[in-house]
């Protein structure tokens, strides 16, 4: 238990230490906007603004009453549940296989960059990870020794996971089918299965409505094969890492070799658990892929994060089986070290982080007089409004302003190893304005133009400044009144 405690503490430090190191990005800013509403208004808005069920937002709404909606206050909820997932993963993996496998899985979870990333994000994914871990733990206990505690654990965790994110179904549905098919568990879990099915059916109208809004339409803009490959890599090593090609190949090779060894030569005590985890992990990947091929394409790492635990159990079992030759310990150490390197690399490299709207707002400073703000991409306005107060729609007829600010983050283009540098704008002159500041950092470009006296400027003239530097990302314009600061 001391090793588990140390791993949990290490994972907690990695999750809590840099909670405010990055700006809120678009999705988190949408969460902040929801949490500023009263409870009724938030619940009324979620069906038309989100693509997930409401449980996370309910918990976050309560959480922010004492802790606030700043980066630390809001993200600390995700950090807490993300840290709590480490011992839960240990319990599930131990129940499936053995204590040694549980410790390996706990170590992998503590240092996994993708799990840490979403433990520092004000969205539902960390809560989803915790709840599917509890569901898998309850499911495994039911297979081994059906009792009331296991039934309640599985039913409650599964229902809550579905109420957190629809993709929980790709792990919970195979569990439910498994329990219903096994004579030993069919009768004890009948009521529990009914509760889980009822939860899913109750959420179905909301899911269909949210799907009709096509809020995830951006996902299939890149090829499916590319996204599948990147998702597998992201599950192992996160979104960004130093020497990414080499480190990714190394991590994937170790994980794949360990998983293959576990399936080919399982120890007698772990055989059933390894195969169970492999089936569940494969289902959690294959079912969304089948949906994508059928036209409902939502394949990306954060949606398929439910597959992480069962797949980690398979790889962890292989590493644990090799412990007598020291290969397993070395392999686990390398995976943890690569994960830690990725986490540190993201903390040190601004361009690998979330778009830095906070940094841009602070660099721009307060408006001395009326200011036009050109923002690219369009959705950047939502997080920018958190840090730059007093923004309003730019009047169609134009407005008299003394300042024009152009603000662009890094370019996140499909297929690249890392984000491309922010666009370096060569702003053409607008009569009466001159460039007074040009700030080009690793994570953003900020250009500020100023006139001696207010000049009437129309939106078309402002858009001509931007050149729409990012393909498919049209900029937008806001008006900021004098004296409004972030």
DSSP letters, 94-123, are HHHT-HHHHHHHHHHHHH-HHHHHHTTSSS
List Cβ<8 Å contacts ≥24 apart for 70-77.
70/20, 71/19, 71/20, 71/22, 71/23, 71/24, 72/19, 72/20, 74/28, 74/31, 74/32, 74/35, 74/122, 75/19, 75/20, 75/120, 75/121, 75/122, 76/16, 76/19, 77/122, 77/126, 77/127
Radius of gyration of the chain (CA): 24
Q: Are 409 and 356 in contact (CB under 8 A)?
A: yes
Q: What is the mean pLDDT of residues 301-308?
A: 96
392 - beta bridge partners? 479
- The residues spanned by each domain of the chain are 2-352, 357-480
CA distance 388 to 366: 8
CA atoms within 13 A on the CB side of 482: 8
CA distance 444 to 411: 9
What local confidence, expressed as pLDDT, does residue 17 receive? Answer: 95
Asked if the model's pLDDT at residue 247 lies above 90, the reply is: yes
473 - beta bridge partners? 470
Q: What is the mean pLDDT of residues 318-323?
A: 86
Other residues' Cβ atoms within 10 Å of the Cβ of residue 225:
8
CA distance 99 to 410: 44
Asked if the model's pLDDT at residue 32 lies above 90, the reply is: yes
CA distance 74 to 65: 10
**Residue-averaged pLDDT of the chain:** 92
When pLDDT is cut at 50, 70 and 90, the band that residue 415 belongs to is low
115: which 2 tokens?
Answer: 């799990």
Give burial (CB, 10 Å; 0-12/13-18/19+) of 142.
Answer: buried
CA distance 282 to 171: 9
What local confidence, expressed as pLDDT, does residue 323 receive? Answer: 64
DSSP at 296 = -
When pLDDT is cut at 50, 70 and 90, the band that residue 8 belongs to is very high
Buried b (16+ CB within 10 A) or exposed e, 291-314: ebeeeebbbbbbbbbbbbbbbbbb
What local confidence, expressed as pLDDT, does residue 467 receive? Answer: 54
- 322 contact partners, CB below 8 Å, separation of at least 6: 258, 261, 328, 329, 331
Q: Measuring CA to CA, how many Å separate 66 from each of 12, 32, 60? A: 21, 15, 11
Asked if the model's pLDDT at residue 221 lies above 90, the reply is: no
Express each pLDDT in 143-182 by its tens digit: 988 899 999 999 999 999 999 999 999 999 999 999 999 8
Q: Identify the CA nearest to 262 among candidates 278, 282, 280, 283.
A: 278
Q: What is the mean pLDDT of residues 59-71?
A: 97
Q: What three-state secondary structure class fits 420?
A: strand
CA distance 193 to 187: 10
Express each pLDDT in 322-371 by its tens digit: 866 688 899 999 999 999 999 999 999 999 999 999 999 999 998 989 99
Q: Identify the CA nearest to 307 among candidates 123, 116, 125.
A: 125
When pLDDT is cut at 50, 70 and 90, the band that residue 411 belongs to is confident
Phi, psi of 190 (to 5 degrees): -60, -50
What local confidence, expressed as pLDDT, does residue 471 receive? Answer: 52
What local confidence, expressed as pLDDT, does residue 64 receive? Answer: 97
Residue 83: in which H helix or E strand, if any? Answer: helix 71-96
Q: Are 398 and 370 in contact (CB under 8 A)?
A: no
């Amino acid at each position: 238990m001391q090793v588990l405690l140390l791993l949990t503490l290490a994972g907690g430090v990695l999750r809590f230490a840099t909670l405010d190191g990055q700006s809120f990005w678009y999705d988190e800013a949408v969460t902040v906007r929801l949490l500023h509403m009263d409870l009724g208004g938030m619940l009324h808005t979620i069906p038309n603004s989100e693509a997930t069920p409401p449980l996370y937002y309910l918990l976050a709404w309560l959480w922010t009453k004492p802790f606030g909606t700043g980066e630390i206050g809001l993200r600390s909820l995700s950090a807490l549940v993300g840290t709590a997932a480490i011992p839960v993963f240990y319990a599930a993996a131990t129940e499936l296989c053995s204590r040694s496998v549980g410790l390996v899985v706990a170590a992998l979870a503590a240092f996994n960059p993708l799990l840490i990333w979403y433990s520092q994000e004000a969205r539902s994914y960390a809560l989803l990870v915790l709840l599917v871990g509890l569901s898998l733990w309850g499911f495994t206990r039911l297979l081994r020794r059906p009792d009331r505690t296991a039934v309640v654990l599985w039913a409650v965790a599964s229902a809550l996971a579905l109420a957190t994110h629809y993709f929980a179904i790709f792990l919970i549905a195979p569990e439910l089918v498994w329990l219903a098919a096994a004579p030993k568990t069919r009768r004890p879990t009948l009521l529990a299965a009914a509760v889980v099915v009822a939860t899913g059916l109750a959420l179905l109208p909301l899911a269909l409505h949210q799907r009709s809004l096509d809020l995830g339409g951006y996902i299939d803009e890149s090829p499916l094969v590319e996204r599948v490959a990147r998702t597998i890599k992201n599950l192992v090593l996160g979104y960004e890492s130093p020497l990414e090609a080499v480190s990714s190949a190394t991590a994937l090779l170790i994980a794949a070799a360990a998983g293959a060894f576990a399936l080919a030569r399982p120890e007698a005590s772990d055989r059933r658990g390894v195969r169970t985890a492999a089936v569940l992990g494969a289902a959690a990947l294959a079912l969304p892929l089948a949906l994508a091929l059928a036209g409902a394409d939502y394949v990306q790492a954060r949606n398929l994060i439910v597959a992480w635990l069962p797949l980690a159990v398979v790889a962890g079992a292989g590493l644990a089986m090799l412990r007598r030759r020291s290969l397993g310990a070395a392999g686990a150490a390398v995976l943890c070290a690569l994960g830690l390197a990725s986490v540190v690399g993201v903390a040190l490299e601004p361009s690998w982080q979330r778009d830095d709207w906070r940094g841009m707002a602070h660099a721009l400073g307060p408006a001395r007089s009326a200011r036009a703000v050109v923002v690219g991409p369009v959705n950047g306005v939502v997080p920018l409004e958190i840090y730059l107060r007093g923004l309003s729609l730019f009047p169609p007829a134009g407005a008299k302003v003394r300042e024009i600010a152009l603000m662009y983050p890094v370019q996140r283009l499909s297929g690249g190893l890392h984000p491309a540098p922010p666009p370096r704008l060569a702003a053409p002159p607008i009569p009466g304005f001159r460039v007074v500041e040009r700030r080009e950092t690793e994570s953003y470009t900020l250009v500020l133009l100023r006139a001696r006296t207010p000049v009437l400027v129309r939106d078309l003239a402002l858009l001509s400044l931007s050149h729409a530097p990012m393909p498919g990302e049209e900029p937008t314009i806001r008006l900021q009144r004098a004296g409004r600061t972030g």
